[in-house]
Amino acid sequence: MLLLFLFLCSYPVAAIDITHTFADSFFVNVPVNASTLQSQLHPDLTVRQFQNTAWVSYIATQVTATKLGPVPVPAYTKGILVRTYVTDQNGKAGIFHFSCFFSNSAYMKLANRVYFKGRVSTFEQDPDMTLSECTDSKIDFISPAFEMTANYPCNSSASSPLPSGYDDFFVNSADIWYFQSSLSSKGTVYSSKAKTSIPKPARAASQSEVPKLSIIPQTRFPVTQDITPSICKNPGSCFFLPEFEVVLEPQTPDNN
């Protein structure tokens, strides 16, 4: 295992795709003023709106499998992704990542070495992050770094079909993932072509199905208010995906 890790860290990966499989993912989608987000983005990117508002998503998830090209690598980790939704100068839809937090230090070192390369403004380890197995149709997720706790349904009997348009916007509408190395300076924006597949459909979680939800973002994230279970009152504001897979091409500076 150690030899594989050292080999991958030294291997030239500039031309290798990376495939992530995410499981038990819980999306908390927060409406935000578009101008608040736009001020933090590279000028090549424009905030994209859904239902007449901009959004920031907090995604509690776990990476269950990763491949570099066809080669599987050890990559099991819990995580939180914070992102918003944008278009580039050519009108292509994209997802912009403000931060990524993961529980596994080995995964972080490998991912940063071969893919992220310091191009996410906040890319940190949260060693106390936990995500339980599905018991009694519920999953418990805890992240002290975000002061985040969530208890949410994990099977179809404890949820309802997601309203039309939500999974298209929040999961499967992006041709590109974007990153920039410094929010304060709006440094170089990097892009990666993305292909997402959803083998099992997303399910909506109502307020009554998420009895324990609290997210208190740190000030460097573009949402200042505390997020409580009331955010889930809209049928599509909080939903979960049993599994989704993303294939990402190597990052390159965006030249649009």
pLDDT band at 229 (very low <50, low <70, confident <90, very high): confident
Residue 139 reports pLDDT greater than 80: yes
Q: Work out the end-to-end distance of the chain between its first and last CA atoms, rounded to an integer number of angstroms.
A: 40
- With the CA atoms of 74, 79, 85 and 87 taken in that order, what torsion angle do they form, in degrees rounded to the nearest 10? -30
% residues pLDDT > 90 (the chain): 36
Residue 225 reports pLDDT greater than 90: no
Fold of 18-253: Acetoacetate decarboxylase-like (2.40.400)
Mean pLDDT of 16-45: 90
**Mean pLDDT rounded to a whole number for the chain:** 84
Instruction: Count CA atoms within 13 Å of residue 140 on its CB side.
Output: 5
In tens, the pLDDT along 19-32 reads 999 999 999 998 88
What is the DSSP code (8-state) at residue 169?
H
According to the model, what pLDDT value does residue 2 have? Answer: 42
How far is Cα 107 from Cα 242, in angstroms, rounded to an integer? 21
CA angle, corner 214, sides to 203 and 236, nearest 5? 25
**CB-CB contact of 84 with 54 (8 Å):** yes
Q: Where are the domains of the chain?
A: 18-253
